[in-house]
């Protein structure tokens, strides 16, 4: 398993992950009755516009991927603003969830943020299942769905 920067050629894999993955609205261990697709960009942007945004993010080194021997299994969209790292999106494929990949990926992002001398990492999350994960990773919920980790 390796983490790397996305390239323009990763767009199709990015779209597939976005379409095949959902955000759990339930706490861990609950039946997955409520699941919201992670392709929220495609709900209000055309495929061409999503591709244009993806390419811009790639050019600005804002998209990181995790891949195993077979394929891309996770991605994160990150903005580096001053001394703050903002995780804009973070997705692990449904098939690869609960296997430590999210933890591995988050720890790598934290390590990179420290190397870049960031003071904190910030993210928004409104899904109960994911909120549990971010708390486990040491993020503090400052307000409903607003998470922060001081480095």
- State pLDDT tens for residues 132-151: 899 999 999 999 889 999 99
Higher-scoring residue by pLDDT: 17, 33: 17
Residues 6+ apart with CB under 8 A from 103: 136, 137
pLDDT one-digit tens code per residue, 19-41: 766 554 445 544 444 444 444 55
Higher-scoring residue by pLDDT: 129, 118: 118
Task: For residues 63 and 17, give the distance between their C-alpha atoms in angstroms, rounded to a whole number.
Answer: 14
Instruction: Give the containing element (helix H, strand E) for 19.
Output: helix 11-20
Reference 66, options 14, 137, 119; nearest CA is 14
Task: For residues 63 and 74, give the distance between their C-alpha atoms in angstroms, rounded to a whole number.
Answer: 10
H helical segments located in 21-127: 40-44, 47-59, 101-115
Q: What is the mean pLDDT of the chain?
A: 83
Q: Which residue has the tokens 């580096």?
A: 80
pTM: 0.82
Query: pLDDT band at 43, cuts 50/70/90?
Result: low
Share of the chain above pLDDT 70, in %: 83
């Amino acid at each position: 398993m390796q983490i790397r920067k996305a390239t323009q050629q990763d767009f199709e894999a990015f779209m597939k992950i976005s379409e095949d993955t959902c955000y759990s609205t339930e706490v861990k261990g609950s039946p997955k009755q409520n699941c919201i697709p992670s392709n929220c960009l495609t709900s209000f942007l055309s495929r061409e516009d999503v591709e244009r945004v993806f390419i811009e993010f790639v050019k600005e080194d804002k998209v990181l991927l995790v891949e195993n021997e077979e394929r891309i299994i996770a991605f994160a969209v990150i903005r580096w603003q001053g001394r703050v790292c903002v995780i804009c999106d973070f997705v692990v494929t449904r098939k690869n969830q609960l296997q430590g990949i999210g933890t591995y990926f988050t720890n790598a992002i934290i390590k990179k943020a420290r190397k870049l001398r960031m003071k904190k990492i910030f993210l928004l999350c409104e899904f109960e299942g994911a909120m549990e994960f971010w708390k486990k990773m040491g993020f503090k919920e400052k307000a409903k769905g607003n998470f922060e980790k001081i480095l």
